[in-house]
């Protein structure tokens, strides 16, 4: 096949599983992640350090990747972080980190790579949004805002770049068993003194339970790889369990107040303690 893919956030979570699936399907993969700054974290010689919150790091990654493979056929932005907290309680720094990684990290990569693809006359741009790009849930306000931003940005980008032979796909994962607690943070002000504390404990317990019992991340990687091999790239690829697909449908058809009651009640239920490893939706 010989197709070349550059992918961000490739050291863990859904980015790692996607990179692995691409390699298994014959793609040449240049993987970027902050942790690749340490040689012991690199799986092969096409792992490059990349901090998508830094213009300098993005420029250095693009320069080195070009030397390795030339202009990529596909750019995938999978880098992401999640900060759990009440909307009122987020600090500016907490919101900025989520937006800088999830959204502005995408726009930095696009600014660097899109001109190369446009000159080449073809290319594919893929970015990971989330089910949270389609609806909101309690205590994921910053993450949900970043994913809604990605949804809107890619919708506009898709129309703008089509005349240049460039396709755009939005990947919308539901809960998956993947990731690292390093990318799943808790707001500094979420303490027992917070007026949201009890609701926060219940809500994040449900989130944690759903992630631990989520879908197979390797399956998601295979679906992304399969989509990239189609003659025409899908505009959206929603990969989630049936109940999360149903939640998206209900979000669109129910009155806002009724849907809000439905979601709020789900995230206020009690869950049984689970000692398994934490995951994160990226």
Structural domains of the chain in order of their starting residue, each with its CATH number? 4-266 (3.40.50.720)
Residue pair 103/149 in contact by the 8 Å Cβ criterion = yes
Among residues 89, 129, 146, 178, the one annotated as catalytic is: 129
The three-state secondary structure class of 265 is helix
User: Active site includes 146?
Assistant: no
* Residues 210/175, Cβ–Cβ less than 8 Å: yes
Give yes or no for a contact between 68 and 46, defined as CB atoms under 8 angstroms apart. yes
Half-sphere exposure of 164 (CA within 13 A, CB side): 20
> Which one is catalytic: 12, 57, 146, 147?
147
- Model confidence pLDDT, tens digit, residues 167-197: 999 999 999 887 555 556 788 888 999 999 9
> Of these residues, 11, 89, 130, 146, which one is catalytic?
11
Q: How confident is the model at residue 280 (pLDDT cuts 50, 70, 90)?
A: very low
Between 38 and 239, name the one with better pLDDT: 239
Let me know if 276 is a catalytic residue.
no
pLDDT-above-90 percentage for the chain:
78
130 noted as active-site residue = no
In sequence order, what E strands does 177-255 have?
184-186, 236-239
Predicted local distance difference test score (pLDDT) of residue 247: 92
pLDDT in tens, 51-90: 999 999 999 999 999 999 999 999 999 999 999 999 999 9
Alpha-carbon span 110 to 113, nearest angstrom: 5
**Candidates 143, 153, 200, 267; catalytic one:** 143
129 is annotated as an active-site residue = yes
pTM: 0.90
- Residues 200-252 have pLDDT tens digits of 999 999 998 888 888 899 999 999 999 999 999 999 999 998 999 999 999 99
Q: Is the pLDDT of residue 278 over 50?
A: no
Residue 271: the pLDDT is 65
Confidence band (pLDDT; 50, 70, 90) for 33?
A: very high
The per-residue pLDDT for 211 is 87
Predicted confidence at residue 272, as pLDDT, reads 59
When pLDDT is averaged across residues 255-281 and rounded to a whole number, the result is 71
Angle between helices 92-99 and 141-161 (to 10 degrees): 30
């Amino acid at each position: 096949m010989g197709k070349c893919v550059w992918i961000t956030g490739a050291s863990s979570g859904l980015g790692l599983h996607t990179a692995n699936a691409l390699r298994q399907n014959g793609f040449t993969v240049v993987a970027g992640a902050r942790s690749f700054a340490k040689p012991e974290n690199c799986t092969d010689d096409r792992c490059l350090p990349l901090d998508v919150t830094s213009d300098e790091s993005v420029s250095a990654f693009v320069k080195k990747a070009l030397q390795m493979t030339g202009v990529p056929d596909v750019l995938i932005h999978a880098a992401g972080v999640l900060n759990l907290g009440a909307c009122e309680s987020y600090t500016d720094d907490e919101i900025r980190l989520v937006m800088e990684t999830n959204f502005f990290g995408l726009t930095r990569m696009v600014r660097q790579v899109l001109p190369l693809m446009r000159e080449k006359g073809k290319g594919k741009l893929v970015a990971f949004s989330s089910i949270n790009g389609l609806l909101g849930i309690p205590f994921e306000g910053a993450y949900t805002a970043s994913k809604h931003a990605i949804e809107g940005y890619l919708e506009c980008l898709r129309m703008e770049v089509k005349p240049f032979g460039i396709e755009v796909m939005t990947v919308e994962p539901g809960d998956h068993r993947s990731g690292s607690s390093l990318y799943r943070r808790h707001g500094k002000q979420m303490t027992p003194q917070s007026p949201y504390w009890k609701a926060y404990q219940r809500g994040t317990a449900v989130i944690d339970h759903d992630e631990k019992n989520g879908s197979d991340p390797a399956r998601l990687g295979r679906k992304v790889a399969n989509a990239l091999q189609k003659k025409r790239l899908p505009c959206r690829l929603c990969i989630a369990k049936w109940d999360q697909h149903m939640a998206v449908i209900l979000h669109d058809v129910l009155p806002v107040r009724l849907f809000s009651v439905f979601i709020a009640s789900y995230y206020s239920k009690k869950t049984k303690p689970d000692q398994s490893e934490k995951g994160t939706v990226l």
